[in-house]
Amino acid sequence: MSMLGLLATTTSPMKLGEATSGGTFWMPESASTIAPEVDFVFDFINWINYIFFALVVLVLVWFAIRYKLKPGSRESFTPDAPTHNTPLELTWTTMPLLLVGLIFWLGMDGYLRLTEVPDDAYPVKVTGQKWSWIFEHPEFGVIEGGELTVPLNRPVRMIMSSKDVLHSVFIPAFRVKQDVVPGRYTSLWFEATRPGQYRLYCSEYCGMDHSKMLAVVNVLPEDEFQDAMGQLAREYEDIPDSDLPAYAMNRLYSRCASCHSRDGTSGTGPSFVGLWERTKNGTTVFTDGTTLKDHMGPGGEFEVPENYLRDSILNPQHYIVQNYMGAMPTFKGQLKERQVDALVLMIKNMDRLVDDQGNVIENPDLDGADISTGSAN
Ligand code: HEC
Ligand SMILES: [Cu+2]
């Protein structure tokens, strides 16, 4: 394959879901109020570099030619070159000083703008955990995973924390980046100036699947944003039980995807393929040597197998499956009751939702599917 062809294939996944129009050679497209300021400082420093590079090379070449050692000149050489030139020395001291001072002032000004959050900023609570992003909208009671919907032309403040290790939010199109730290809050704000979809990356190496810790920022005009929030706030309530498995696959699986495959391959966690079969039959073995069967049945801890799945999602450290580590974060408080049901039903109906390669079936046939969660409802 040609070098160009190779580049084309390796760079194309980056463009996925990202509106890449409007970028320059150095910068990705810009879509926030702070972006032009950041780009200006970058360009300013870059041009200083270009100009001084050219200047230094030109003078170097000129001197090399002008003062080349000529045959016979060594004998007549007298060390009478100037040793001191006050105006020249003042110039080469003050000029860089002024330039560096200007760069500092521009940088400090931008930095202060980035740290001073406007009072009316729209709050979003961000939680990073290996290896996904959760976004909460306290004003609407909405929780999003892997996707963040924000209003256009309105300052948005992210209040961020981590459940495990250091992560970092980076939204290149907005020119903002901030660490996300366990045990404390950090914050970041931006105001999007163009509707569209933009990539959000984790930019702090946080373990094996760090590179999969991505999200999409969806910028919507105010009225569409209000509609979308209303819809998200109701989405799981309006869905009939029979559609819950497909809903979970389309809207919730992304929060499990970094660890649980849907094609049978084992990752940080066991694949969801075949999981229900194992659970139903109680054959899963735990690190404490017991088998799921030992805890099941009337009088047991899990009266019905569905309860084991529930428990695994809300209380993952309770039983650790053999050959795995207790790496799963709890989803307690992050999923509504009905969403936990939906995930249980998704796991139960995995074979109807995905094909043998693990691809999602577009309109799954769920006629006669088992949509009981086994619990009280
Ligand atoms: C950071 C990785 C990670 C994420 C994200 C994650 N899990 Fe897990 N999960 C694990 C690991 C590791 C295990 C096996 C150890 C254990 O039992 O806790 C596991 C076990 C499970 C089990 C029990 C599996 C079995 O074989 O008995 C279920 C059910 C489960 N996860 C559901 C989920 C669901 C649903 C989500 C998404 C909402 C999710 N997990 C997200 C890592 C993860
Ligand atoms: Cu991370």
pLDDT single digits (tens) 188-226:
999 999 999 999 999 999 988 899 899 999 999 999 999
Q: How far is the CA of 328 from the centre of ligand 1 (A)?
A: 5
If you average pLDDT over every residue of the chain, what do you get? 87
Residues with beta carbon < 5 A to ion ligand 2?
167, 202, 206, 213
- The pTM (predicted TM-score) of the whole model is 0.67
Q: Once rounded to an integer, what is the mean pLDDT over residues 74-83? A: 74
**Binning pLDDT at 50, 70 and 90, where does residue 278 land?**
very high
> Is the per-residue pLDDT at 124 higher than 50?
yes
CATH of domain 244-353: 1.10.760.10
Cβ(216)–Cβ(146) under 8 Å?
yes
Please indicate whether the domains covering 27-60+90-238 and 244-353 agree at the CATH topology level. Answer: no
What pLDDT does 374 receive? 67
Question: Which residue owns the Cα nearest ligand 1 atom 17?
Answer: 320
> Is the per-residue pLDDT at 23 higher than 50?
yes
**Which ligand is located closest to the Cα atom of residue 130?**
1
Q: How far is the CA of 194 from the centre of ligand 1 (A)?
A: 37
What pLDDT does 68 receive? 84
Report CA Rg, the chain: 29
Q: How far is the CA of 215 from the centre of ligand 2 (A)?
A: 11
Alpha helices, H only, 239-321: 244-247, 275-281, 305-314
Whole-angstrom distance, CA of residue 238 vs CA of residue 181: 36
> Is the per-residue pLDDT at 233 higher than 90?
no
What pLDDT does 335 receive? 84
What residues does ligand 1 touch, defined as CB less than 6 Å away?
Answer: 130, 132, 255-256, 258-260, 268-270, 275, 284, 309, 312-313, 316, 319-321, 324-328, 331, 343
CA angle 332, 130, 184 (to 5 degrees): 75
Dihedral (C-alpha) 181, 183, 184, 188: value to the nearest 10 degrees? Answer: 30
CATH of domain 27-60+90-238: 2.60.40.420
Q: What is the pLDDT of residues 323-374, one digit of tens each?
A: 999 889 888 877 888 889 999 999 999 989 998 888 888 888 877 777 777 6
The H-or-E segment that residue 46 falls in is helix 35-66
**Binning pLDDT at 50, 70 and 90, where does residue 5 land?**
very low
Question: Which residue owns the Cα nearest ligand 1 atom 28?
Answer: 312
What pLDDT does 220 receive? 95
Q: How far is the CA of 187 from the centre of ligand 1 (A)?
A: 29
**Binning pLDDT at 50, 70 and 90, where does residue 52 land?**
very high
> Is the per-residue pLDDT at 10 higher than 50?
no
What pLDDT does 21 receive? 57
Lowest mean pLDDT among 78-87, 172-181, 318-327: 78-87
Question: Which residue owns the Cα nearest ligand 1 atom 24?
Answer: 270
Q: Which of 260, 268, 332 to mutate to test the pocket of ligand 1 (most atoms within 8 A of CB)?
A: 260
Domains of the chain, residue spans: 27-60+90-238, 244-353
The H-or-E segment that residue 177 falls in is strand 176-180
